[in-house]
Chain A
Amino acid sequence: MNEIILNSHNKSLIRKKRFWNISLIAIILIGIILSSIIIDINSSNLLNGIPRLGDYVSQILPSLESSNLFLSPKDQGSIAYWYFNLPKYLKLLFETFNMALLATIVGSTLALFLSFLAAKNTSPNSLVFFTIRRILEFFRGVPEIIFAILFVWVLGIGPLAGIIAMTLHTTGSLGKLFSEVHENSNNKPIDALKASGGNWLSEMKFGLLPQVLPNLISYVLLRFEINIRASTILGFVGAGGIGQELYLVINFNYYEEVSAIILLIILTVISIDLFSGYLRKNIIGVEND
């Protein structure tokens, strides 16, 4: 008797699950079809445009000659000729790197303070929780480039505008991520601190922080990678760094310089990604001993 009930219950569960799975697939398919109609994916523009992409890429490629490859900057076809502006690029790249670094440090510090107020389990009251959550959403919701345009207009062209733009965005997104980490933490040690008469600050410092720190560091490093990429783009609106130079050479059609700069940026991003990925793995590895 019990077996029959169990079986029929099981079957109805499977039926229910199957229904939801099929509905989900149907909804996704309809979504894809609708959106391709809306963005007009079949238009001839796309088909005609693709070859032009190849044209541009071939134009920006440097004309290197194998015999002259290692000659001086004055000889056409050498790498040095292609990268004649390297000292300037490196200086700007360093500026970009520093913009990202500063924005990450300041942004994650602000995010850390706000995250305690924005997590359900650590916020002193629901009004603070609600307000800080909305503020973080605003900082996260507005794209960095909009902040950058605003601050370039306010502060003038230069890296400061980019740094502030990235700091705000970093605060918004890390603040939310941090507060979610807090919410997933174990509240038992915090209870113990409360029960021993500790104040809110010591509850956070000794009860919460040791639990969440590895996760927070991992998020900060990830954000640093993102900021390195973002800070190159912000230069396009005059917010300093290598992006500003890239925008210039694209506009003036200095084709070979475009590829020189892009290659440099790609190399930088890859090496920082690798390095911070290695760090993140090590931090988590050490913590899981």
Chain B
Amino acid sequence: MKPLRIRNLKKKFKDTVAINGVNLEIEEGKITGIIGRSGSGKSTLLRMINRLIEPTEGTIEFNDIIITDIKGKALRKWRSECAMIFQQFNLVDRLDVLTNVLIGSLGRNYSFLNLFGYFSKEEKINALRNLNRFELTEKSLQRSGTLSGGQQQRVAIARALMQKPKILLADEPISSLDPKNSKRVMDDMLKINREDGITVICNLHSLEVAKKYCDRLIGLSEGEVVFDGKPNELTADISKKLYDLDDE
């Protein structure tokens, strides 16, 4: 199995360095948690993997493809293989849940007819099957804006599955959810990792959750990797340093 390789990745915004020379290899089929306080560059790192943010320097490689070099169709194909869920769920509130899930198929199976709101029967069945996995079938014709936060995030996961991805990037997926919904969303991510073998790379704020669900943790501080190891290797000392408690 070929890992996702990140080499000497850097990102500079005007006068701040968000990511400063990150080298990582992320194995397939595992849940990797990226931890660190806000502003440590977690989100920037994740968004460079699917190129929502362009790196200033360095390369990302997957299956012998240099992700950081591709353009146009190849880039869209990569993005569809590498799904993302967001802190704010990023659903289209005014559209119903089913359409929101169907949107996930656009990158993989696009036809001009989609622009007129047409989706093929197979894709609709796919979408309903995915919704059913997260017990959301009865919500499928409701506007997604009327759902609770936890439900919206699970719709977002169903949308991500529509892409038939190899990797799932999760950018602070539970930061705006209560503990009960957080658990449900994390359980669902664990489920798709174990059942479908999808590699999960997940930004997390909460150390507790990260230790519980992740196979491997990567600690970021000021754009640099300061910890890389199994959850049980993360000592109190390191986590204190990671969150820089007395620095504020």
Contact = CB atoms under 8 A, between A and B. Distances in A.
Interface string A188-215: 1101111111110110011100110100
Which bucket holds chain B's interface residue count? 20 to 34
Interface in A210-237: 210-211, 213
B184 to A, nearest CB: 20
Contacts of A188: 86, 88, 90
Interface in B60-86: 76-81, 83-84, 86
Contact of B95 (A194, A195, A196, A210): A210
Contacts of A192: 84, 86, 90-92, 103, 156, 159
B50 A189 contact: no
Given A195-B79, A197-B78, A206 B108 contact: no
A82 B95 CA distance: 55
Contacts of A197: 76-81, 106-108, 163
Contact of B52 (A191, A207, A211): A191
A193 B86 CA distance: 12
B230 interface: no
Given A188-B88, A202-B110, A202-B115, A193 B94 contact: no
B94 A194 contact: no
Contacts of B95: 206, 210
Which bucket holds chain A's interface residue count? 20 to 34
Contacts of B84: 192, 195-196
B175 to A, nearest CB: 14
Contacts of B76: 197-199
A196 B83 contact: yes
A287 B163 CA distance: 30
Interface of B: 50, 52, 76-81, 83-84, 86, 88, 90-95, 99, 103-104, 106-108, 110, 114-115, 156, 159-160, 162-163, 169
Q: Which 8 A-B pairs have the closest CB atoms?
A: A197-B107, A197-B80, A192-B90, A197-B79, A195-B84, A210-B94, A188-B90, A197-B76
